[in-house]
Structure 1
Amino acid sequence: MAKVEDYEKDINRLSAKGLILYYAIFIQHGDENHKKAIPTGLKDKLPSFTTDYQPWYSECVSLLSQILPERLEDFKAYYAPKTARKEIGFANYTVSDALRGLVGTQYGEVKFAPISAATAMYQQYTIVDGLKNRFKSTLYDIKTLVHADLLDDELHAAQELNKNSFQRGSGAIAGVVLEGHLAAVCERHQISLRKKDPAISDLNDALKSASVIDIAQWRFIQHLGDIRNKCDHKKSTEPTKEEVAELIEGVRKTTKTVL
């Protein structure tokens, strides 16, 4: 999975390029009034809209499909119509029409021309630019789902070990999952930890102090930590299958409820 910073760079780059392509339509297809609307100093730096649009569009489609799929069809619709059009006009003129140089006249007056695509291009730009305010929360959701899937795989492995009478190994895996999840929650909530290598109890205390978990959750996690310690350290009594099964299910519950 790409890092948050990588997504941020892509969004900023594609947003900036989208705005430049919007003004590039003015240079390529607009009249003098359109060209006057271009910011000072930008005119000489504008690319060819026809040449540069398609690579930009492809990258945007890929990015939206990952981060904001619910807006992907809207974005595509500004490129090409979703359904067949009975007639073409300014309101439904798309970017693909402009790339084909489609022009229409009625009674000797231009009804639509490539410059008509400026509105569609601007809407595409705003969709991509809007990702700046959405990508962090969306990426957080993606990371959370992937993280949960990985934890489920590890807990399944712990279950198999427990089923085959390897209680200590099973409990150790479940303990590592619990510790890793609590550490991820602390990081998500930007909770500072005193120890370099905090144990379950340290992470549990930090989450309670930050009011991320309540007393009941804190006690529950503390109990799971006690079972984990029984699995990790040689004691007079061996951990039972029932105890380890309780640990595994408790860890699974914690990964789903402590976020």
Structure 2
Amino acid sequence: MASNLERFKADLEKLILKGRALHLSMQHACYPDKVKAALKKELKEETEKYLRGLPDFDKGYQRWYTEAQAVVKQLIPDRLIDFIRHYEKPKPRKDITFENYRIEDYLQGLRVTRGGFEVVVNKEAAIPQFQQQLAILEAAQARFDSSLLDMRQMLQADLFDSELQAAEHLAKFKFGRAAGALAGVVLERHLSQVCVNHSLTIGKKNPTIADFNEALKAADVIDLPQWRFVQHLADLRNLCDHAKKPDPSAEQIQDLLAGVAKVTKTVF
């Protein structure tokens, strides 16, 4: 079942796609021949069908604006005034120019002429205003994605700290193998997240610490001394995971716990 965050992200993506369709509809209303010609290069005989499927800007914009405004207010409130400014007529406004024409004017069909013939400003002047609104919404999407990453990493860091504290508790009561195994899981999960942060793909279905370590070194995320240090921790983890004699010493367990704590705080 999708989480609330995943549903919100999907709804935001739909809102942006709707905005792009409205943008094209707006352009088509102002420059029908140019838009149709441009689309024909890609869509060919499907052009007319595609154009008929575009939303009506005048009917669809207000709902889009209300939903998009709520998103901007929630995710990037410092851009809310800018977002609204592209819609509302500036007050006071002595005359109407291309620079101060707004989407509200477009929806009212406002057209200014000089001498009854020369067009001073027309509906196409609102196209840049909507482009800016759409760009602000897309910036909100980028902010949402980065916020999600920040939240995930903060929660994950808290979880790792708790698991390392549990591992230290096990070590204190002489459960060295269990403590080392738990610390190894923390290390593996952390390195996996670091690979995600750097868009690194691991080919194996079930990658190990060594696999993540190699990928990070190959991408220059970590240097050779860091790579050796992580490899040493992986060796200690393997010593705990496999029922070999002798048991890992208390010093080895402490080295592993301290090393994993260091990696989670210094490798990102």
Q: Contact 1:11–1:128 at 8 Å: present in 2 too?
A: no
**Structure 1 equivalent of residue 247 of structure 2:** 236
Question: Residue type of the partner of 1:150?
Answer: L
Q: Over residues 51-106 of structure 1, what are the superposed CA-to-partner deviations in whole Å (9 max), with x where a residue is unaligned? A: 2002333454466678887766543321236x74354623223223444x385979
**CA shift in 2, pair 1:107/1:191, >3 Å:** closer
Asked if the contact 2:23–2:127 (Cα under 8 Å) also holds between the matched residues in 1, the reply is no
- Indicate yes or no: 2:27 matched with 1:23: yes
Instruction: Please give the secondary structure, in 2, of the residue aligned with 1:236.
Output: coil
* Structure 2 portions without partners, runs of 5+: 38-47
1:17-96 mapped onto 2 (5 Å cutoff):
17-23=21-27, 26=30, 36-39=33-36, 41=48, 46-61=54-69, 73-80=81-88, 84-87=91-94, 89-90=96-97, 91-96=99-104
Which deviates more from structure 2 when the two are superposed, residues 224-233 or residues 87-96?
Answer: 224-233
SS of structure 2 residue aligned to 1:120: helix
Superposition TM-score, scaled by structure 2 size:
0.63
TM-score, reference length from structure 1:
0.65
Distance in 2 of aligned mates of 1:123 and 1:226: 54
1:157 and 2:162 are equivalent in the alignment? yes
**Which range is displaced more, 213-222 or 53-62?**
53-62
In 1, distance between residues paired with 2:17 and 2:57?
Answer: 16
- Distance change >3 Å, CA 10–CA 68, structure 1 → 2: farther
Partners in 1 of 2:187 and 2:144 — Cα distance? 22
- Tell me the CA shift for residue 215 of structure 1: 0.6
Question: Taking structure 1 as reference, are residues 57 and 173 closer, same or farther at Cα in structure 2, changes over 3 Å only?
Answer: farther
Number of equivalences: 240
Cα–Cα, structure 1 residues 140 and 95, in superposed 2: closer, same or farther, change >3 Å? closer
What percentage of aligned pairs have identical amino acids? 28
**Aligned-pair Cα RMSD in Å:** 4.5
Q: Distance in 1 between matches of 2:208 and 2:54?
A: 56
Residue 246 of structure 1: which of 231, 237, 258 is its match?
258
Give the whole-Å Cα distance in 2 for the aligned partners of 1:139 and 1:216.
Answer: 36
Cα distance change of structure 1 residues 227 and 61 upon mapping to structure 2, 3 Å threshold: farther
SS of corresponding position for 2:158: helix
CA contact (8 A) 1:179 1:199 kept: yes
Amino acid at match of 2:92: R
Distance in 2, Cα, partners of 1:185 & 1:162: 22
Q: 1:43 and 1:209 mapped to 2: Cα distance? A: 48
Instruction: Give the conservation status (yes or no) of the 8 Å contact 1:162–1:244.
Output: no
Alignment of 1:65-144 (within 5 A): 73-80=81-88, 84-87=91-94, 89-90=96-97, 91-99=99-107, 101=108, 116-125=125-134, 127=135, 141-142=146-147, 144=149
Taking structure 1 as reference, are residues 204 and 66 closer, same or farther at Cα in structure 2, changes over 3 Å only? farther
Amino acid at match of 1:85: P
Counterpart of 1:29 in structure 2 is none
